[in-house]
Amino acid sequence: MCSNTQERATRPHEPGRVCRDLLYSRSKQPNRVVPAFTYQALQKNTVVRPPPRIDIFKRRPVRETVFKIYFSRGDIPCVLAGRSNKQDPTKDRPLRWTCVPEELDYCYYLPIFVDGLADMDSDTRLLAINGAIDLIMRSPKKVLPVLPKLILPLKRAFQTRDKRIIISALQVVQLMVRLGPCVGQALVPFYRQLLAVCNIYKNINVNLGEGIDPDRSKRIGDVIEDTLKLLEYCGGPNAFINIKYMVPTYESSVFPRCEMPKPS
């Protein structure tokens, strides 16, 4: 204790300064990041770790497809012979078959070709697309019996979240619905497996302003819109309500909502 009052007043207050420095240094310490919904979150100087950010448009590539495995060991009975004509898919595909395609077992080979749509290698995917389209165009009546086996490969192609792969898979679906008898109605129970990704990419288009791009096959939003219209047109009376369940923003093109009043 200081006996002199003047000396006590001029002496610096060390305990108070040490306390302030301690509080300041403690405020500058980084907080511990702890997981949520644990007892650690109730402790002092802790910050709850935020949930991970999910990118719904992030690509999810497939490691290896069944088509690539079969192609690497020489079990695919076709090879590429030239360039494909993307403008007119009804023309002959640039394939050279080692056997008659109509005599192939569609229940065995068509799911393998459709599975190749999800391959990340462009050359392998091009062979799979051309082979699947060629098989569908040569024998459309054989598509309906093998349709349940095509749902899982198509779903795997949609789940890659790659726009090029999704567009290719949608074009194959359009071709099956157009050419295959009763394929559109048979696809109605499988809308929940196929149309989930379409709801995400439906409104993605390129704003061209006053420009016009006649090639709709490269814009995923337009391809999805054309596919949904075709599915509704060929799917029967229950198609629209099932499409609306998976894609709420879709409006019917077969039964428009606003109709002209009939003249009295």
Give the pair of three-digit tokens for residue 124: 């392998």
Q: What is the pTM of this model?
A: 0.75
Give me the half-sphere count of Cα atoms (radius 13 Å) on the Cβ side of residue 228: 28
Q: List the pLDDT tens digit at each of the 264 positions of the chain.
A: 455 555 555 555 556 677 777 777 767 777 788 998 888 888 887 889 888 888 888 888 888 899 999 999 988 898 887 655 555 544 555 788 888 888 899 999 999 999 999 999 888 899 999 999 999 999 999 999 999 999 999 999 999 999 999 999 999 999 999 998 899 999 999 999 999 999 998 888 766 667 666 677 788 888 999 999 999 999 888 899 999 999 998 988 876 554 555 665
Give me the pLDDT at residue 90, please: 46
Instruction: Compute the distance between CA of residue 166 and CA of residue 223 in angstroms, rounded to an integer.
Output: 9
Neighbouring residues of 38: CB distance < 8 A, sequence distance ≥ 6:
none
Neighbouring residues of 250: CB distance < 8 A, sequence distance ≥ 6:
202, 228, 243, 244
Give me the pLDDT at residue 166, please: 93
Give me the pLDDT at residue 151, please: 94
Instruction: Compute the distance between CA of residue 156 and CA of residue 11 in angstroms, rounded to an integer.
Output: 78
